[in-house]
Structure 1
Amino acid sequence: MRTRLRAGRTLMVTAAAATVLVAVAGCAPGSSPVATAPSGDVSTDAPTGDITIKIQDETGFPVTSDLSDEFTKQYPNVKFDIVRDSFQNLLANTPRLLASADAPDLIRQSTLGTTVKDGLLTNLDPYFDAYGWDKFSAGQLAGGRITDDGVRGEGSLYQFGIGFSVTGIYMNKTIASQVGITEAPATLDELESDLKKAKDAGVLPIQTGMQDGVGTFVLQALINQYGDKQDLIDWMYNKPGATIETDAALKGSTKFQDWAKAGYLPTDVNAINYTTMVSNFTSGQGLFMWDGNWDAKNVETGLGAGNAEFFLMPPAEAGSKHVAMGAGNTFTIPAKSKNADATAFFLNWIVTNDKARQIVVDVTGSSPGGDPTQALPTVEKGSLVEQALNNSATVATDDGFVDFMANSTAGIYQGSLQPNEQLLLTDKMTPEDFLKATQEFYEKDLAAK
C-alpha cells in the first residue's frame, strides 16, 4: 500500500538516534590510538568563572551559533568564539589546528584519520561514564568510536554528534501531480516507474549533482537496498578483509549508471554541486532529490508548505525493512583544549536541555539524539521536519541506519568516489571497474595511515 500524498498529514513521532552532507572519515587497521584522556577526574559541574569556549566549525552549519547564544543566556559567564571555514578547508587543516598551541576547544571533525593515533584528541570515555551517556542508543555514538587496531564502531569514544541525520528522497508534489503520481513509491520498481513517468512527461526525474560528489547519496541509497547492510558497514568501519566489491554494490552501481543512461539525471550532472542541486530543486527543477533531513526547512521554504514530501528510500521488495544513511554531525574536543570539562558540559547540555534540543530540531531538522526516553521537541504538524523525525524513528525501529560511504577512509571521497562516479555517470567506466578502483584506493589509503 503506497502512502498517499496529502498536505497536513499528522505523523506519530518517536525519539530516534540517527546526519549532514557528505562526510569523510577513517583510520588504518594496525594503528595504535593514543588514549588522550583528561588528566585527573573530570568535572560535570557547570562552568564557573569567565571563560571563552573556542569552536572551529564548518561553514553552513549555523546551529552552533544558536546553541552558544542560548547557553550564554543560561550561563552568562561563558562566552563563545566561533570560527568557520569550508568543509574542504576544514578537512585539510584539522590536523594543524589540533596540533596548534592555540587549538580550539571544540572542532567540527567528520574524519578521525590519524588524529587519534597521533594523540591530538581527547578520549571522551571519562565523560561517557560521568554523564551517563550509556543511556543513549549505542548506535548514536558508534561512529565516534575506534579500537586500538583502527577499526571504527568499537573501542573508545572520540566524537560526539550535534544533531543526527536521516537521508531520504524529497518529492515535489506539484510536479508529481502534473505527471500523474499520487503516491510516494513503496518499492524500487515503483520508484523506477515514477522516474519513467516524469521523463516521458518531459520533467527531470532526479535533481542531483556530481561536481562535489553529492550524487553519492543516490548511489549509496541504491546499494543499501541490496544484500546485507552489515557488509557495507564493515567496509566503512575498516574491518579487516571487508570489501566494496559485493553483489549489492554492483547492483547499486549498475542501476545508478542505468538511470544516467536513461536520462533520469541532469545532462550536466558533473557540473552541479550540492548548493546548486538544492537551489535547482527548490526552484522547481526535478521531481525527486536525494538529500538529508538537514534541508527540510530549505525545501519547505523554497517550494512552499504542503508542496513537498520527504520519504525514505523504498526497499527492493515490498514490506522489507528500511535502510538509510544517517550519522551525527560529529565534533571532537582537541587534546590541547584549555576548557575540556566546560566543553563536555556544553555537549551534554545540547542533548539534555529542552531548549537546546528544540534549537537542534528547529535549525537543522535533525533528531537531537540523547536519551531516547526523553521527549522530542515540538514541531509543526505536517511539516517536512516532522516527516523527517518520523522517518528517523522508522529507520531506528528497523535498525536500518548505516554510515556514509564517504566516511570509509580519510581520502576516498575526493580521491576516488567523486571523480570515478563522474566517469560512471558518463559511461566512461563500468560498474565493475568503478568498484575495483574504489577498493584499490581504499586499501592504499588505509595502508598509508
Structure 2
Amino acid sequence: MPRRSGPRAIAVAAVAAALLAGCAAPGGDRPDPAGTSATPVSDPGCGAGPVVLRARFETGFPLAKALADEFTRQHPNVTWDVREEQYAVLTRNAPRLLADNPPDLVRLPQVSDLVGDGLLRDLDGYAAWFGWDDWPAAQLRPMRVAPGGRPRGAGPLYAMGFSTSVTGVFYNKDLAARIGFREPATLAEFDDALARAKDAGITPLASFNAGATAGLAFPLQGLMAAYGSPSAIDDWIFQVPGARIDTPANTEAARHLQRWLRAGYFDADLNATDYARMIDRFTSGRALFMLDGDWESAALDRRMPGRVGFFLVPPVRAGDPRSAMSGPPTFGVPAGAAHPDCAAYFLNWAVTDPVARETTVRVGGSLPLGPADAPLPPVEPGSVTAATLAAASQLVADGTGMDFIANATGAILAESWTPRLQELAAGELGPEELLARVQADYADQVDG
C-alpha cells in the first residue's frame, strides 16, 4: 500500500485501518532494535494472526483501557495484557521495566533519560508513514527528544499521545451562586472569590498532597502560568541548558500559593488527602474550586451534570493571554517491544478512527490529537467537557500550553516536588527555599 501524502481525512483513515489489519504483516522495514534511528517503515500493522499487546497504563485514567477495548472490538485478532500502575510508580520503575521486561506500549511521564539510555524506539519512521508530520508541530513538540536524551522539544519523535489535556479550575455552580461568583478576568478577582467563599463557610479549594503525588504542583503551576512565561517553564522541563525553576516570576507564584495556604483556603488535612478524596470532596459539594485536569471532565458531567464550570487560572494583568499546563499524556514503544508495528498502528488508529476520537472525548474529556482538519466529536452544550475542550483549543491556537513541572526528570516528582511541597504546606519551608532545593535536585539529576 503506498503512503498517502497530506493530512489524513478521518473517514479515509478508518477505511485504511480495516485494510491494514487484513493485509499488513508486521516485520517490513522497521526502526532498528536499539531504537536509535528511524529506518523507513513499510505497511506497519497488526497482521491477521493472533497478537497479544502487552501494555502498562496509568491507574485512575480509563481512556487508554477504553481505547484498547475498542481497538480489539474492531481488530479481533489483537488482544491486550494490561497492567495499571500509579503515575509515580511508572516514573520510578520505567528504566528497569524497559530494560528487563519491555511491554509493547507504556505510559511514560518522562522520556529524556529513557531516550539517553536507548530504551525507547524512535518513532520518526512511523510518523512519516502515517502522516503525523503533517499535524500542527506544537502537538508533537513535547514528545521530541534530541540525540542523547536532552533537550526535549526538538529532534526525533519518541512518544505519542491520544489527546491534548489541559489543567485549570473546576467550580461547583451551585456553591458559586451562593457567593455571586463570575469567572474571573484577573488573578486578583480569583483571590477575591476565594476569600468570599471562606467568609461564607465554604472550603475554597479542594486539593491533594499526600503520598508521592505532589498534588500542590497543580495550583503552583497554575500560578506560575499567571505570573510568568510558559516557554521559560518548558525550557526547564525540557532540560534546555541554563534554564532554571527558581526565577523571580516563579518565586512570586510560590509566594502566592503560600498566601493561599496561610489563609486557610485548603482543607487542614491537605498533606493527608489523596487524589480520590479530593475528588470526593469536590463532587459532594464540600469545596467550591478544584485545580485539576480535563481527564475528570467526562466523569464530572456524569456525576454533576450541568453543575460544573471550568476556567483557566487568570493572568495577573487583565487582557494578557492565559497559559496553562497542557499537553499529551505520552505513550512510548520500548526499543525491545515484541510488536512495535502493531503498537504504532494502534497509536495512529487512536487519533484517526472516528469511534476512537469520540471515545477520547466521551471517556477522557480531552481534545483528540490529529490533523488540523480532523472534526471534533460533538459534545453537550453547557457541559464541563465543552468548557475544557474550548480551553484546550484556545491554548493550542495561542501556543501558550506547557508541560507538567513534574515531568522534568524521572525522579523530580517523587524525590523533590513531593517532599518540598509537603514541607511548604506544613509551614516548614518557604517559597524561595522550595524552588532553590528543587533546582538543586534537578541539577544533580540532570548533570549526574
Whether TM-score is above 0.5 comes out as yes
- For the pair 1:315 / 2:315, whether they are aligned, the reply is yes
Find the counterpart in structure 2 of residue 298 from structure 1. Answer: 299
Find the counterpart in structure 2 of residue 36 from structure 1. Answer: 36
Find the counterpart in structure 1 of residue 326 from structure 2. Answer: 326
Find the counterpart in structure 2 of residue 206 from structure 1. Answer: 205
After superposition, give the CA deviation of every residue in 1:164-207 in whole Å (9 maximum; x if it has no partner).
201110111111111232x1111101101101111111111111
Q: Measure, in 2, the Cα distance between the counterparts of 1:234 and 1:362.
A: 33
- Is the CA contact (8 Å cut-off) linking 1:213 and 1:273 kept in structure 2? no
The residue type equivalent to 2:280 in the other structure is S
Q: 5 Å matches for 1:40-79?
A: 41-45=41-45, 47-79=47-79
Q: Which runs of 5+ in 1 are unaligned?
A: 1-33
How far is the alpha carbon of 1:89 from its aligned partner? 2.8
Give the 3-state SS of the residue equivalent to 2:162 in structure 1: strand
Q: Measure, in 1, the Cα distance between the counterparts of 2:39 and 2:233.
A: 37
Find the counterpart in structure 1 of residue 133 from structure 2. Answer: 134
The residue type equivalent to 1:433 in the other structure is E
- Is the CA contact (8 Å cut-off) linking 1:44 and 1:131 kept in structure 2? no
Find the counterpart in structure 2 of residue 176 from structure 1. Answer: 176
Q: Measure, in 1, the Cα distance between the counterparts of 2:446 and 2:399.
A: 28
The residue type equivalent to 2:355 in the other structure is K
- Is the CA contact (8 Å cut-off) linking 1:42 and 1:341 kept in structure 2? no
How far is the alpha carbon of 1:62 from its aligned partner? 2.2
| Structure in which a larger fraction of residues adopt helix | 2
The residue type equivalent to 2:216 in the other structure is G
Q: Measure, in 1, the Cα distance between the counterparts of 2:40 and 2:253.
A: 50
How far is the alpha carbon of 1:307 from its aligned partner? 1.3
- Is the CA contact (8 Å cut-off) linking 1:260 and 1:426 kept in structure 2? no
Find the counterpart in structure 2 of residue 441 from structure 1. Answer: 441
Give the 3-state SS of the residue equivalent to 1:79 in structure 2: strand
- Is the CA contact (8 Å cut-off) linking 1:256 and 1:425 kept in structure 2? no
Find the counterpart in structure 1 of residue 106 from structure 2. Answer: 107
Q: Measure, in 1, the Cα distance between the counterparts of 2:93 and 2:414.
A: 15
Give the TM-score normalised by structure 2: 0.88
Q: Measure, in 1, the Cα distance between the counterparts of 2:202 and 2:125.
A: 54
- For the pair 1:85 / 2:85, whether they are aligned, the reply is yes
How far is the alpha carbon of 1:353 from its aligned partner? 0.6
Give the 3-state SS of the residue equivalent to 2:320 in structure 1: coil
- Is the CA contact (8 Å cut-off) linking 1:208 and 1:269 kept in structure 2? yes
How far is the alpha carbon of 1:77 from its aligned partner? 2.0
Q: Measure, in 2, the Cα distance between the counterparts of 1:124 and 1:348.
A: 11
Find the counterpart in structure 1 of residue 187 from structure 2. Answer: 188
RMSD of the TM alignment (CA)? Answer: 1.7
How far is the alpha carbon of 1:132 from its aligned partner? 1.1
The residue type equivalent to 2:171 in the other structure is M
Q: 5 Å matches for 1:199-238?
A: 199-211=198-210, 212-238=213-239
Q: Measure, in 2, the Cα distance between the counterparts of 1:189 and 1:52.
A: 53
How far is the alpha carbon of 1:91 from its aligned partner? 2.4
After superposition, give the CA deviation of every residue in 1:365-395 in whole Å (9 maximum; x if it has no partner).
0111111211011112211111111111111
How far is the alpha carbon of 1:343 from its aligned partner? 1.2
How far is the alpha carbon of 1:73 from its aligned partner? 2.5
How far is the alpha carbon of 1:229 from its aligned partner? 2.3
Q: Measure, in 1, the Cα distance between the counterparts of 2:438 and 2:264.
A: 25
Would the alpha carbon gap of residues 228 and 86 (structure 1) be closer, same or farther in structure 2, given more than 3 Å must change?
closer
The residue type equivalent to 1:137 in the other structure is P
Find the counterpart in structure 2 of residue 163 from structure 1. Answer: 163
- Is the CA contact (8 Å cut-off) linking 1:229 and 1:402 kept in structure 2? yes
Give the TM-score normalised by structure 1: 0.88
Would the alpha carbon gap of residues 229 and 66 (structure 1) be closer, same or farther in structure 2, given more than 3 Å must change?
closer
Find the counterpart in structure 1 of residue 382 from structure 2. Answer: 382
Would the alpha carbon gap of residues 59 and 46 (structure 1) be closer, same or farther in structure 2, given more than 3 Å must change?
same
After superposition, give the CA deviation of every residue in 1:274-333 in whole Å (9 maximum; x if it has no partner).
11111111111111110010111232333x212110111111111111101012121111
The residue type equivalent to 1:321 in the other structure is P
Greater relative contact order, per chain length (Cα 8 Å cut-off, separation 6+): 1
Equivalent residues, number: 412
Find the counterpart in structure 2 of residue 146 from structure 1. Answer: 145
Would the alpha carbon gap of residues 434 and 353 (structure 1) be closer, same or farther in structure 2, given more than 3 Å must change?
same
After superposition, give the CA deviation of every residue in 1:204-232 in whole Å (9 maximum; x if it has no partner).
11111221311211011001111322221
Q: Measure, in 1, the Cα distance between the counterparts of 2:39 and 2:302.
A: 48
Q: Which runs of 5+ in 2 are unaligned?
A: 1-33
Q: Measure, in 2, the Cα distance between the counterparts of 1:39 and 1:139.
A: 24
How far is the alpha carbon of 1:64 from its aligned partner? 2.5
Displaced runs of 4+ in structure 1, greater than 3 A?
A: 37-42
After superposition, give the CA deviation of every residue in 1:230-265 in whole Å (9 maximum; x if it has no partner).
221111111111111211101100000011111111
- Is the CA contact (8 Å cut-off) linking 1:63 and 1:363 kept in structure 2? yes
- For the pair 1:123 / 2:117, whether they are aligned, the reply is no
Q: Matched residues, percent identical?
A: 38
Find the counterpart in structure 2 of residue 283 from structure 1. Answer: 284
Q: 5 Å matches for 1:286-435?
A: 286-302=287-303, 304-435=304-435
How far is the alpha carbon of 1:40 from its aligned partner? 6.6
Give the 3-state SS of the residue equivalent to 1:154 in structure 2: strand
